[in-house]
Structure 1
Amino acid sequence: MSEQIPARSQDTKLQAESVEPGQTPNTETPDAPRGNAVMRDILGGSAMISVLAVVVALIVGAILIVIVNEDVVEAAGYFFARPLDTFRAIGDAVGGAYAALFQGSVYNFRRPDFAAGIRPLTETLTFATPLIAAGLGVALTFRVGLFNIGGRGQILIAAAAAGYVGGMMELPPVVHLVAALLAGLVGGALWGGIVGLLKARTGAHEVIVTIMLNYVAFYLVSYLLRTPGALQAPGQNNPKSAPMADTAVFPELLGPQYNLHLGFLLVIAATVFVWWLLNRSSLGFRYRAVGENPNAARVAGIDVGRVYITAMLISGGLVGLAGVSQVMGTITTGFASGIDAGIGFDAITVALLGRSRPIGVFVAGILFGALKAGGYSMQAAESVPIDIVLVVQSIIVLFIAAPPLVRGLFHLPTPGVDSPRRKQRARKEVVTR
C-alpha cells in the first residue's frame, strides 16, 4: 500500500518542484486578509465592549424583573400543570417593563399627538444634561491619569455659588443669567483646582483629597443653608435656599410644556470643547502625554504639576456646570444640601461607559438619562422596583471595568493582537535577518 501524503505537503512539494534552479521555494503561509484585522479590532474594541455591557445588563435586569413579578411567581407554582402560563407571564412581565421603560424615556405611543408623545425624550435629555457635564469633567481627568471622585463637592459648591448670585442678588436680565452661570463654573473650578494644587505641590493622592473635600463641601453648604443672610431664604426656618430669580433661570428650549432648558445646549458646547481640547490643542497633547506616562512627559519637558492643576480646574468647571444646571434649570424654587442627587458618582459610571471619550460620554449620559426617566415610568406602570435600574447601572460598570470578562463571555478577539500567521512570518523575518 502506497503511503498517503497530506494535501498540504503535496502542495508544498509541487511548489518546490516548480521553482527554477537557484531560487528559494516560498513556504510561507499567506497573510490573512486586511479585512480580518479590521473586523478583529471592531469586534474586540472598546465600543463593542460598551454595547455588550449594556446588553448583558438589560438581560440581567430582565431576569430580576421576572424574579420579583408576582404573576410569574404565581404561575410558576403550577408550572408542570400549565407551563405556557408561566412563559406567558414571563413575556408579559419583561415586555411590559421594558415597554414602559421605552415609553417613559423615548416616546409614549399612548399620547394623542406627537407633541405630547415626545415629552419622555425631552425628560431623558433633561436628566442627561447634568450627567453629561459631570461625566465630561471626570473623563478629562481620566485622560490625564487622575481620578476625580469629588464631583459631589464640586456640584455643591457650584450650586451654592450660582444659587447665591441667582437668588440673593438683583441684576439686569441677561447679566444676571450670565453672572450666575459664571459664578457656578468658577466655584466648581476652584474646588477642583484645590485638588490639582495639592497634587502638584505636595503629591497628595487626588482620591483621598476629593473624598475629604466632598465632606467639607457638604457640611459647608449645609451650614450656609441654615444661616440667615448666607444661602438660607429670608424668613425661612428650613435649610433651603431662596428661589432663583426669573432673570437667572435657564430659558426653556421647546416651550413651557417641556422641562428641557438651555443647559442641554451648554453641555453640547462643552462636549465639543472637550473634544477639541483633547484632540486638537497643544494642551490636550500634554494632557494625553502625562496620562500615558508622567515620568516620560516630565523628561520631555512638560510641566506635570501645571498639567494637574489646569486639568482639575477645567474638570471642576465642567462638573460645576452640572450643579449650575440643577439650580438654574431643574430646581429653581430653592435647593437643599441634597441637590447633587448622586450625580457626582453617576458621572464616574458615565465616563467609564463612554471610555473617557467626549462623544462616548455624551451618548452614555443620554443612556443613563433614559434609564432615570424610564425607571420612574416602569415603576409606576408595572410596579417594578426602581432599584432594578440601579442594578442595571451597576452591572454595566462591572462589565465595563472588566473587558476580558466580556471578551471571554462572547468569545471576542483581542484588538491589536496579530494572528498566528503574522507572528510566524515575523519570526521568520527575524531569523532571516
Structure 2
Amino acid sequence: MNRVIQVFTKESFLVPLFAIILGLVVGALAMLAGGFNPLLAYESLVVKVFGDLYNFGEAIRQITPLIFTGLAVAFAFRTGLFNIGAEGQFIMGMLGAVYVGVAFDLPPIIHAVVAIIVGALMGGIWAGIAGYLKAARGVHEVITSIMLNWIGMYFANYILNAFLVPKGQQRSEIVHDSAVITLQALSNFLGGARVHWGTPLALICAVIFFIILWKTKTGYELRAVGLNPHASEYAGMSVNRNIVKAMFISGLFAGLGGACETLGVFHYLAVMSAMPGYGFDGIAVALIGGNTPIGIVLGAFLFGALSYGAAGMKFSAGVPIELIRIVISSVIFFVAAHGIVRYLLKPILAKRKEEGR
C-alpha cells in the first residue's frame, strides 16, 4: 500500500496530473465567461463517452489513431529528432493499405496483414525521406517533415484519382472484405461501434516502443546519437544511419495508424481537401504523455475522450465545440509549462522531499 502511495505522490505523476486539473479549471472559467455551466458541460462530456456501449466504443475508436501518432512523435523526440510529419506518414499509411485492399485479391487474414504491413512501410519510408535529407544534406527535419505532410496529401489524391476512384466518385472503391480488420463480435457487443484490431495493435506498439528504446542495442544507439551525436560518432556509431533509422521507425508507427484507420473504420479512402488531423494531434498527445509509452496511451485517452465528448457538451449543455479546444489547449499549455506547475506544487514537493530524508 505504501508503495502505491509513493507512486501516486511522485513528482513525475503529480506534475502532469495537476497540469490536467489546471487545464480543466481554465476551461471551466472560459465556459463561465461565456455564460455556460461548466459542471453540466463536464457531466455531459462524461455521459457522452461513458453513457452507453456504442459511444464508449466510438471513443475507443477515436483514441486509437492518437496512440499511433503519439508514439510516432515521441519515438523521434526520444532520439533527438522532431517528427512534425506524422500527418503525412499517417496519410501514406492510409494510401498503402487501401491500395492493397482494393487492387489485390488475397486470402482472408493474409490480405489484411499484407495491407497493414504495406501501410506501415509507406509511413516509414515517408518519414525516412526527412531522415535521409537531414543525414545526407543537413536539412532540418522540422522543415522537411512539415512539407512532406502537404506533398503526402496531394500525392495520395493523385494516386486515388488515377487508379482507385471510380468515375464520378470522390472516394476509392471499398476494400475487399478479406482486408477488413473490424472486430465484429466486439462491435456487435458495443452496439455497432467501429472498433477494430488496430486498438490492441496500438497497445502492442506501445510495448514495442519501450522494448526498442530501452531494451535493445539499437535503442541505446538511437538515444545516444540523439543525446550527443559527436560523442556517439567518436564511439563508433553511425550517426547518419541512426538518424534515418529513427525517422523510419517513427514513421512506421504513424503509417500503422493510417492503415488501421482505413481498414478498420472507413474501408475506403476519400479524396482529401484537408488533412485528417491525427498527426498534428499526436504532437499534443506525445507532449501530454511526457514521451513515454504509458503516458502516451493515457494522454491519447484524455485527448480522444475530450474530443469525442465535445459533441455531448454541445448538444446537452449548449457549449460550442471551440471551447473544448480551449480545455485541451490549456492542458497542453500547463503540461509544457511544467515550471509553473512545479512552482504551484512547491509546498507539496518540498514536503515529500523532507519525508524522503
TM-score (norm 2): 0.90
**Letter matched to residue 274 of structure 1:** F
Q: Which residue number in structure 2 is paired with residue 346 of structure 1?
A: 281
Q: Which residue number in structure 2 is paired with residue 279 of structure 1?
A: 214
Shift of 1:239: 3.3
Shift of 1:274: 0.6
Determine if the alignment matches structure 1 residue 176 to structure 2 residue 148.
no
Determine if the alignment matches structure 1 residue 385 to structure 2 residue 320.
yes
Of 34, 39, 46, the match for 1:102: 46
Residues 82 and 142 in structure 2, CA contact (< 8 A), matched pair in contact too = yes
Which protein is richer in helix relative to its size? 2
Shift of 1:413: 7.1
**Structure 1, unaligned runs of 5 or more:** 1-34, 73-92, 109-116, 423-433
**Structure 2, unaligned runs of 5 or more:** none
Structural mapping, 1:31-430, within 5 Å: 45-69=11-35, 93-105=37-49, 107-108=50-51, 117-227=52-162, 230-232=163-165, 234-235=166-167, 237-252=168-183, 254-256=186-188, 257-337=192-272, 340-411=275-346
Residues 155 and 340 in structure 1, CA contact (< 8 A), matched pair in contact too = no
Change (3 A) 1:129 1:42: closer
Residues 95 and 269 in structure 2, CA contact (< 8 A), matched pair in contact too = no
CA distance in 2, matches of 1:396, 1:204: 32
Q: Deviations over 1:233-269 (max 9, x none)?
A: x23x243222222111112151332221111011011
Q: Which residue number in structure 2 is paired with residue 32 of structure 1?
A: none
> Hey, which bits of structure 1, 4+ residues long, moved more than 6 A?
none
**Letter matched to residue 11 of structure 2:** G
Q: Which residue number in structure 2 is paired with residue 75 of structure 1?
A: none
Cα RMSD for the two superposed structures = 2.4
Shift of 1:43: 5.7
CA distance in 2, matches of 1:338, 1:158: 18
Shift of 1:312: 0.7
**Letter matched to residue 194 of structure 1:** I
Shift of 1:296: 1.9
Pick 1 or 2: higher relative contact order, CA cutoff 8 A, min separation 6: 2
**Aligned with 2:109: secondary structure?**
helix
Shift of 1:346: 0.4
CA distance in 2, matches of 1:43, 1:294: 36
Residues 27 and 330 in structure 2, CA contact (< 8 A), matched pair in contact too = no
Structure with greater Cα Rg: 1
TM-score (norm 1): 0.75
Change (3 A) 1:334 1:305: closer
Change (3 A) 1:338 1:408: farther
Residues 323 and 340 in structure 1, CA contact (< 8 A), matched pair in contact too = no
Q: Which residue number in structure 2 is paired with residue 8 of structure 1?
A: none
CA distance in 1, matches of 2:248, 2:12: 28
**Letter matched to residue 32 of structure 2:** V
Aligned residue pairs total 347
CA distance in 2, matches of 1:414, 1:94: 30
**Letter matched to residue 292 of structure 2:** R
